């Protein structure tokens, strides 16, 4: 089912019947994605006295509790409330959900201290001429191990502050990346890229979001797409999310 979207006075055709899911689900039947030094998520049936919420155990329905942390266990989208004393909710500040996006593949650069980073220069070379609201960063090498990786104490790649500053200057409102954070795992709480992207020292960009822990399969080529950024309705700084890409069709 094809539909036409108007964006910046241009018309684009996408096929809604061909979604490309770039989210990572919680699946407790196998090793789960995990970061930030906490236990794995849990999905288990409710137990009330002699009753257990499982059809396999004699109940009429399956009735499970789910315990998880959006930042540590699943693809999630966060707003500036993630790093501010004042409460901001992703559910209230993300009000539109379709955006023109650019998928880019980047090999993080090794620094003298051994860190691997994404800098301003590489981002500028890839999107400086693009008129998009969202950027989707696939880091290389790219394997499906990213869907079950244990990131705690591994010092994953991250964005330099200059890269986040460039995205803000460029007007990118939605940053999606396949890493646990846009900042260094242990940075003494500075969160330089988060702060720069959301402009916390100036007029805060309340409608800007960061989505972490995506996975962009290798069969999705770099280029322009529309992204549908779907979140669960949590009044929280972050929510599990399910970003979906749609190829742009030319007449």
Residue 65 falls within a domain, yes or no?
no
Q: Which residues sit opposite 18 in a β-bridge?
A: none
Q: Give, for all 251 residues of the chain, the pLDDT tens digit.
A: 889 988 878 899 999 999 999 999 999 999 999 999 999 999 999 999 999 999 999 999 999 999 999 999 999 999 999 999 999 999 999 999 999 999 999 999 999 999 999 999 999 999 999 999 999 999 999 999 999 999 999 999 999 999 999 999 999 999 999 999 999 999 999 999 999 999 999 999 999 999 999 999 999 999 999 999 999 999 999 999 999 999 999 76
The string of DSSP letters for 88-122 reads --HHHH----EEEEEEEEE-PEEPTTS-EEE-HHH
Residue 42 falls within a domain, yes or no?
no
Question: Where do the DSSP E strands lie in the chain?
Answer: 2-7, 10-15, 20-21, 42-45, 47-48, 51-52, 64-67, 76-78, 98-106, 109-110, 116-118, 134-139, 158-159, 174-177, 209-212, 223-231, 238-249
**Backbone φ, ψ for residue 206 (5° rounding):** -65, -25
CA torsion angle 95 21 29 141 (round to 10): -110
Residue 43 falls within a domain, yes or no?
no
Residue 63 falls within a domain, yes or no?
no
pLDDT at 250 (0 to 100): 76
pLDDT at 153 (0 to 100): 98
pLDDT at 8 (0 to 100): 77
Range of the domain at 22: 2-33+70-249
How far is it, in rounded angstroms, from Cα 238 to Cα 88? 9
Residue 38 falls within a domain, yes or no?
no
- What's the total number of domains in the chain? 1
Residue 192 falls within a domain, yes or no?
yes
Residue 91 falls within a domain, yes or no?
yes
CB of 89 within 8 A of CB of 78?
Answer: no
pLDDT at 16 (0 to 100): 94
pLDDT at 251 (0 to 100): 65
CB of 53 within 8 A of CB of 214?
Answer: no
CATH number where 189 lies: 3.50.30.50
Residue 240 falls within a domain, yes or no?
yes
pLDDT at 1 (0 to 100): 82
How far is it, in rounded angstroms, from Cα 171 to Cα 165? 10
| Residue 228: strand, helix, or coil | strand
């Amino acid at each position: 089912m094809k539909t036409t979207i108007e964006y910046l006075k241009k018309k684009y055709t996408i096929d809604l019947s061909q979604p490309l899911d770039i989210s990572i689900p919680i699946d407790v039947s196998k090793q789960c994605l995990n970061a930030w030094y906490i236990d794995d998520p849990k999905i288990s049936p409710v137990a009330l006295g002699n009753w257990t919420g499982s059809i396999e155990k004699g109940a009429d329905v399956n009735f499970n509790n789910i315990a998880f942390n959006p930042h540590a266990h699943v693809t999630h989208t966060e707003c500036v409330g993630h790093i501010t004393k004042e409460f901001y909710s992703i559910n209230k500040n993300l009000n539109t959900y379709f955006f023109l996006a650019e998928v880019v593949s980047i090999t993080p650069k090794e620094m003298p201290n051994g860190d691997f980073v994404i800098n301003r220069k590489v981002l500028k070379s890839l999107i400086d001429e693009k008129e998009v609201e969202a950027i989707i960063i696939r880091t290389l090498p790219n394997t499906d191990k990213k869907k079950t990786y244990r990131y705690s104490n591994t010092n994953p790649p991250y964005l330099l502050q200059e890269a986040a500053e460039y995205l803000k200057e460029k007007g990118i409102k939605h940053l999606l990346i396949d890493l646990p954070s846009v900042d260094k795992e242990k940075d003494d709480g500075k969160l330089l890229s988060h702060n720069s992207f959301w402009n916390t020292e100036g007029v805060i960009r309340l409608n800007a979001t960061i989505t972490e822990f995506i996975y962009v399969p290798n069969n999705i080529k770099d280029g322009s797409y529309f992204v549908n950024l779907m979140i669960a309705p949590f009044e929280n700084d972050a929510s599990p999310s399910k970003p979906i890409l749609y190829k742009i069709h030319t007449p």
